[in-house]
Structure 1
Amino acid sequence: MALLRTRRSKFTALCLLAVAAGTIAYICLVVPRAQFLAPAPTPILYDRNGAFLAQVGHSDDGSGRIDYGYWPLEDLPDRFVKATLALEDKRFFSHAGVDPYAVGRAAWQNLSAVRRRSGASTIAMQVARMQQPEARTFVHKILEAGAGIALTLRYGHHAVLAQYLRLAPYGNGSHGIAHATRFYFGKPVTDLSWAEIALLSAIPQSPTRMNPLRPDGLRRAVQRGHQVLDVLQAQKIIRTDEAEIAHRQLNELRMPDLPRRPDALHVILRYHDLIETGRIKPAAANTPLIHTTIDLSLQRDVTALSRRFLDSWRSAGALQVAAMVVSRETGEVLAQVGSSNYYGRHAGSFDYTQIQRSPGSTLKPFVYALALERGILKPTDMLLDLPEGASGIGDADREFLGPMLPRQALANSRNVPATNLLRSIGLETTFHFLRDLGLHDLEIPADHFGLSMAIGSLPTRLDSLMRAYRALANDGQLQDLRWASEQPQQPSVRAVSLDTARLITSFLSDPQARLPSFHRYGSLEYPFPVAIKTGTSQGYRDAWAIAYSQKVVVGVWVGRGDNGTMNRMTGASSAAHLVHAIMDRVHESKPGDLADARFPTPPDRKPVDLCIVNGAANDNTCSQTLVEWLKPNEMPELTAKVPHLDTGAGTTPATAGAGARAASASLSTGRDDGGPQIHLAISTPARNSQIWRNPEQPAAYNRLALKAEVKPRVPQIVWYVDGQPFAVTDPDRPVFWPIQSGEHRFQIRLPYRDETSAVIPVYVQ
């Protein structure tokens, strides 16, 4: 007997030890589950008019599914809580995480093989399962039960219920009731009707079978929603009349179309990056709604225009396009097209608004602005577009236009004047100025780029150019582009003076100043004020156009993802046409429209007619003039000035004159010190010609051809009309003078030399 008792005691002890060990193991498995876990709330993006733009969700473990939602609840929505508990766990507040009655009922039904079985999972147990999904086995059920009790004891019933309403699946990737109501109905949960509550509370039981965006799923969800309403009525949560109205509304409920992501994946990915890096933060963490600056209607139109224009350029080798539209006043990004098609061929997945490319001539306005800021350049200075001092740099047309006003030199996008200005300013100074504008972030020496920095060797991005050009459009104030109302806005900084910004704007918006490089009424001219600059990189790899009006800044890049060359695709012949179409769309302009408006003029400046060759004030004898805005101390004399060359930093009038004389020597085959004399003669028109002007003929055809005879040949001559310089040209090429009534005198001279032709009088009636 003693031995038997001893064996029984040992067995009992072993059993107790086994139970204790099992209990400890069970506790060890349950304790880690006894904490709230939830993914971060995912934002919903709306366009500037409140239309759905996109969601930024969480990718799962590789299955390809993306989950959304998980919005926490500040307050439990009373009506939805009652509907949820009536359906899922009506004794929720009377048990500690496991419902003994439900467990017993489920066990009886399982043992008795009742066909319709009910589960025993409580709200707390479902929270445990949603936080750590596992196979639906008996062991895992036991662990979920323990975790449900632990969660309830640790956090309390209200917190567990709030966690359930944050995690519960409502179909189509939506989790949590706060997100689901926004996703399906576009409103907060507190604004739901009883019919909408019944429908949504039915979905978590089987989100796939009851997908409300599919006809069969909606039918099942409605059927279960009627059961929810019946339970609510039976429990006297809603009155009979309320239940009747809800049943009727539930039968008539039509779900809105599934919000679809627009064809704007690049801009959505940019928002994802802005959110991930913290540059955009929702105003309310519990309701992460992002109100973007994008105008979806404009976005669609800009995308369609970009694709249509690109299709017409493919034969010339263009394979990609990027475009941006930014509000001039606020800096808000209204549209962005990163490529022709994200999923298309030719490296469409790259966002070309953020890729560094050669900017061509689009940096020239900032070189001129810096020269004006530092007093190196005045609007009346004459810049020489000549081979001398060009450092091997030429223009796409392989010609030189001679002396030019700064307005003409920039509007014609001449390379030699820009590089000479860069030389005068200094490479390092210009390099740092462009970095301050955000056009690059390089830390290498400026010598790496040299003078070609002014014409495209310094790489930059389209979005950086948009920011910098907006500073010109915004009277010199530089500010980051704005992507959402929730984006913290840094104060603007002054990049250039208001005077300089408006002067550069007047240069870029003057169609007359673009002659002869860009003809009138082409892609650069608008029926309303627009400042525009084009750019073409070496080898026709990149074509650019950046323009701004009183409303918007528009930028376009055209090129190839493989950095290959295109067939003579320039900014003016390609990108500028797309910019024009986008501008017309924004301004809603129609053919024949003409706005009587202009950009604000530079303060403290007065308009003055300047002769385009020598920069002198017009004395009513100069046949070609431009209006320039001058300060009182910049007013020129009526006598002509000698153009100067920017030969380097510290150039003085004396050294400029010396440079000009050196240039004159290079233009002539003779010398001032006794070299051969140059014979100059006018072959057309003949002396004392009588010319009749046809008043009904278009002005473009009322022209007189001027032809010269020069021996020996020289590179360039200057045509004078009525004593004023009219054109600098190759002597073998005719010049066309717009016919004007009256008596006129024509003469040829050599630049900076004494040789002249005889004066040829002509009479025009």
Structure 2
Amino acid sequence: MLCVVVAALAATTPSRAADDGVPAFETLRAAHRPSDLIVLDRHGEPIQTLRIDDKARRLPWQPLATFSPALRELIVHGEDRQFWSHGGVDWSGLARGALARTQGRVQGGSTLTMQLAALLDPALARPAGGRGALQKWSQIGAAHALEARWSKAQILEAYLNLVPLRGELIGVPAASHHLFGKQASGLDRGEAALLVALLRAPNAAPALVQRRACALLGEAPDCERIGSLASRALVRRSAPPLGEQLAPHHARWLLAQQAKPITSVRLRSTLDARLQRSALQALRTQMAELQGRQVEDGAVLVLDNRSGEVLAWVGSSGPAWSDAPAVDAVLARRQPGSTLKPFVYALAFERGTLTPASLLHDAPADLDGGSGAFMPRNYDHRYRGWVSARSALAASLNVPAARLAALVGPEPLFERLNAAGLQLSESGGYHGLALALGSADVTLLQLSNAYRMLANGGRWTPVAGTPGAARAVFDARVAFQVGDILADAGARATTFGLDSALVTRGFAAVKTGTSKDMRDNWCIGFTDRYTVGVWVGNASGDAMHHVSGTQGAAPVWRALVQQLHAQQPSRAPPPPPGLERRAIHFDNQLEAPRDEWFLQGSGETLADARGRVPISEHARGRVHPNEHARGRLRVGEQLAQKRPSGISSPRDGSVFALDPDMPAPVQRIRFEGEAGQWWLDGQPLGSGASLQWMPWPGRHRLELKAADGRVIDRIAFEVRGAYVRR
């Protein structure tokens, strides 16, 4: 009687029109979206996959011919033996399934076509209690419509790509990769049988899956092998990588830069796969060299000077070395140390405060840091006396840089650094003179692009793919002077020697930096075509053990510069208009004679912040250190001691911290400057050349006025801390 009913149903099978919601095969295939985005390098080579769908794991759509013959055979044999001959419904199979249910057994009667119809239409999905007659009838109609519009090969291909398997795995390609670590084309009969056995119960225990797979294979299969295979594959927690994983951090950054939703399965980057591999290898080689010195992490960035494109981006040394491999050290903010010094000198050159030939005093100094005494010390704890600005910068001397920062002022330096794209927080007064030695936090991406600005004649442009308007940060002539100094191996020799990791075959302007307690180590530099930035340290912030700039980051920098210019050495840039080169020599053999670059006209004068001091010896190309007795030269000390007009103390942007446990009289702030009327926050305080004030927390504005009420000078400062005890 049951067979008669099924036959009657078959005679009245509903037909579905071509426009009844069944998609075209080509449309379905084109709409398929893998769960992982494939990132390509600039030449189209895959370099990274990036998970963008956390709900399901799908791989790219695969043609039917790429599935192993064993899988194609077994899936038809195990799920739908009449697949190649029926019209979408196996009526005898439905009858057997219905009979089994009357006897209390469960036996599927749905064909592969019917199962695919349920995958394409959520309304046809099987509920927990099984399909009712009406839903089954709709599924049969959908299967007939599919058979009417699609070929058998298309139906089987779609089914293999869309069928849910174990856990989050969708489609045989994803299951094959996750469970067996291979492509679907390489599945053998045992592996294929296990996948087919999962179709009816995707999350079944390995023993049950093994029994079903052995039954499917029939002729005395090696069930012990299949059992071992099932026990390994079905408990695997993570899948092997989807191809080469060269740039995980850059891939995430690149995805975040996309202004529109990703509609393609592939995303092209500007990276060069060959250079990316070299950068990664160079960093890991250096990690091995530094083993035992408490160094775990590093980062490398290579930028194209002209376009701003990222050519290499290594955000971590990797899990073999780092405890935090997911942290992108290219974007992490760290203290840059001496790598900020070139910008201090550039600002002073541009202002006319000094020239590369000017002398600065390298000796222990206690300076007014704005919020207290500032006592810079050189990295090697040695002092060289009078040195030229060229030597001081190239050799990375701290004391001259701090003296120079006192001349240019923390706030102007702070503003210029932010113009260079460093996005510093707080204020110049907050950092004080320590800003010149790298007290603020920056990222490797920002700092490398700031050096790229110097390579481009002082003109800043954003890294390709990021927002920002082009702007002039420094005079092109000043950028050239700084680059020329940073490329001068002889000038840096007193600190780094003549054969350090900073020496390259062609032109390269480079600077190292080490933050306090050796927590961060940097090497940033540019050639005529590229800017390369390297950071070495620990993501945790732990200090390294005796790792300087030339020992930590510089070897990686040098290896990449050598590779980048293996075929064509870097050439020094031509000087921009407005520069002149003249021979100079120093009396008493203070430094060796040399040719020096001067801004036109600056060779005859040296300027401080308020006015110019004539130095006639510069006009003759001579620099006399013994002229200090006549008040003619030693500009570093002369300007540091010179009292400017207006308000001399406190400096603009100063920050004062109060100690509530100290008595008030010892915490008074002294206002000093030109004699006049002192006004604080719009209220008169007194008159004279100096005045003491009991500090009060908050931001304040101090004005110095002439007798006629004219404002001579005004500054802003801040007092922090609790109210002092009076």
Q: TM-score, normalised by structure 2?
A: 0.60
Partner of 1:56: 50
Identify if the C-alpha distance between structure 1 residues 404 and 142 changes in structure 2 by more than 3 Å, giving closer, same or farther. Answer: farther
Post-superposition Cα deviations, 1:672-720, rounded to whole Å, max 9, x if no partner, equal: xxxxxxxxxxxxxxxxxxxxxxxxxxxxxxxxxxxxxxxxxxxxxxxxx
Mapped contact 2:35–2:52 kept (Cα < 8 A):
no
SS of residue matched to 1:139: coil
The separation in 2 between residues aligned to 1:515 and 1:106, in whole angstroms, is 87
- Computed over aligned residues only, the root mean square deviation of the Cα atoms, in angstroms, reads 5.1
The separation in 2 between residues aligned to 1:259 and 1:469, in whole angstroms, is 36
Partner of 1:609: 583
Identify if the C-alpha distance between structure 1 residues 446 and 489 changes in structure 2 by more than 3 Å, giving closer, same or farther. Answer: closer
Match of 1:577 among 539, 555, 559: 555
The separation in 2 between residues aligned to 1:120 and 1:544, in whole angstroms, is 61
Partner of 1:536: 514
Structure 1 position 502, deviation (Å): 1.7
Partner of 1:445: 427
Partner of 2:302: 325
Mapped contact 1:38–1:167 kept (Cα < 8 A):
no
Please say which structure displays the higher CA radius of gyration: 1
More displaced, 100-109 or 605-614?
A: 100-109
Mapped contact 1:128–1:148 kept (Cα < 8 A):
no
Partner of 2:254: 274
Mapped contact 2:582–2:621 kept (Cα < 8 A):
no
Match of 1:119 among 111, 115, 128: 111
Q: Which amino acid aligns with 2:58?
A: D
Q: Which amino acid aligns with 2:451?
A: Y
Partner of 1:413: 396
The separation in 2 between residues aligned to 1:276 and 1:332, in whole angstroms, is 16
Whether 1:456 aligns to 2:431 is: no
Partner of 2:332: 355
Mapped contact 2:338–2:396 kept (Cα < 8 A):
yes
The separation in 2 between residues aligned to 1:531 and 1:587, in whole angstroms, is 14
Mapped contact 1:362–1:534 kept (Cα < 8 A):
yes
The separation in 2 between residues aligned to 1:480 and 1:273, in whole angstroms, is 15
Partner of 1:291: 268
Identify if the C-alpha distance between structure 1 residues 147 and 569 changes in structure 2 by more than 3 Å, giving closer, same or farther. Answer: same
Mapped contact 2:317–2:325 kept (Cα < 8 A):
yes
Identify if the C-alpha distance between structure 1 residues 215 and 524 changes in structure 2 by more than 3 Å, giving closer, same or farther. Answer: same
Mapping of residues 235-634 of structure 1, within 5 Å: 260-264=242-246, 267-276=247-256, 278-279=258-259, 285=263, 287-342=264-319, 344-388=321-365, 390=367, 391-442=374-425, 444-482=426-464, 487=465, 492-588=470-566, 597-612=571-586, 624-634=592-602
Structure 1 position 457, deviation (Å): 1.0
Mapped contact 2:341–2:436 kept (Cα < 8 A):
yes
Q: Which amino acid aligns with 2:37?
A: P
Structure 1 position 304, deviation (Å): 1.9
More displaced, 271-280 or 562-571?
A: 271-280
Post-superposition Cα deviations, 1:370-424, rounded to whole Å, max 9, x if no partner, equal: 2233333333433222335654112012222233332222111111222222222
The separation in 2 between residues aligned to 1:272 and 1:148, in whole angstroms, is 45
The separation in 2 between residues aligned to 1:332 and 1:208, in whole angstroms, is 35
Partner of 1:108: 95
Mapped contact 2:114–2:143 kept (Cα < 8 A):
no
Identify if the C-alpha distance between structure 1 residues 262 and 150 changes in structure 2 by more than 3 Å, giving closer, same or farther. Answer: closer
Mapped contact 2:487–2:510 kept (Cα < 8 A):
yes
Partner of 1:718: none
The separation in 2 between residues aligned to 1:625 and 1:631, in whole angstroms, is 19
Alignment: residue pair count: 524
SS of residue matched to 1:55: strand
Identify if the C-alpha distance between structure 1 residues 566 and 56 changes in structure 2 by more than 3 Å, giving closer, same or farther. Answer: closer
Identify if the C-alpha distance between structure 1 residues 140 and 477 changes in structure 2 by more than 3 Å, giving closer, same or farther. Answer: farther
The separation in 1 between residues aligned to 2:489 and 2:360, in whole angstroms, is 19
SS of residue matched to 1:450: helix
Identify if the C-alpha distance between structure 1 residues 170 and 394 changes in structure 2 by more than 3 Å, giving closer, same or farther. Answer: same
Mapped contact 1:125–1:147 kept (Cα < 8 A):
yes
Structure 1 position 531, deviation (Å): 0.6
Q: Which amino acid aligns with 1:427?
A: P
Partner of 1:659: 638
Flag structure 1 segments of 5+ consecutive residues without an equivalent.
Answer: 1-30, 78-83, 90-98, 184-202, 222-257, 615-620, 647-651, 664-765
The separation in 1 between residues aligned to 2:395 and 2:531, in whole angstroms, is 21
Partner of 1:212: 185
The separation in 1 between residues aligned to 2:445 and 2:585, in whole angstroms, is 38
Partner of 1:723: none
The separation in 2 between residues aligned to 1:657 and 1:354, in whole angstroms, is 37
Q: TM-score, normalised by structure 1?
A: 0.57
Mapped contact 1:52–1:259 kept (Cα < 8 A):
no
More displaced, 311-320 or 119-128?
A: 119-128
Post-superposition Cα deviations, 1:144-173, rounded to whole Å, max 9, x if no partner, equal: 7648979999xx989x99x97997359999
Flag structure 2 segments of 5+ consecutive residues without an equivalent.
Answer: 1-20, 22-27, 65-71, 81-85, 101-106, 195-239, 368-373, 604-617, 643-726
SS of residue matched to 1:517: helix
Mapped contact 2:583–2:621 kept (Cα < 8 A):
no
Q: Which amino acid aligns with 1:301?
A: S
Q: Which amino acid aligns with 1:545?
A: C
Mapped contact 2:280–2:317 kept (Cα < 8 A):
yes
The separation in 2 between residues aligned to 1:309 and 1:150, in whole angstroms, is 62
Identify if the C-alpha distance between structure 1 residues 409 and 565 changes in structure 2 by more than 3 Å, giving closer, same or farther. Answer: same
Structure 1 position 216, deviation (Å): 4.2
Mapped contact 1:57–1:67 kept (Cα < 8 A):
no
Mapped contact 2:47–2:245 kept (Cα < 8 A):
no
SS of residue matched to 1:522: coil
Report percent identity of matched pairs. Answer: 24
Mapped contact 1:476–1:497 kept (Cα < 8 A):
yes
Structure 1 position 359, deviation (Å): 0.8
Post-superposition Cα deviations, 1:261-316, rounded to whole Å, max 9, x if no partner, equal: 4343xx3244234324635765xx3x342111222222222222212222221233
The separation in 1 between residues aligned to 2:241 and 2:570, in whole angstroms, is 43
Match of 2:57 among 56, 61, 66: 66
Mapped contact 2:34–2:265 kept (Cα < 8 A):
no
The separation in 2 between residues aligned to 1:220 and 1:568, in whole angstroms, is 59
Identify if the C-alpha distance between structure 1 residues 384 and 342 changes in structure 2 by more than 3 Å, giving closer, same or farther. Answer: same
Q: Which amino acid aligns with 1:577?
A: P
SS of residue matched to 1:628: strand
Mapped contact 2:112–2:159 kept (Cα < 8 A):
no
Identify if the C-alpha distance between structure 1 residues 314 and 440 changes in structure 2 by more than 3 Å, giving closer, same or farther. Answer: farther
Post-superposition Cα deviations, 1:706-737, rounded to whole Å, max 9, x if no partner, equal: xxxxxxxxxxxxxxxxxxxxxxxxxxxxxxxx
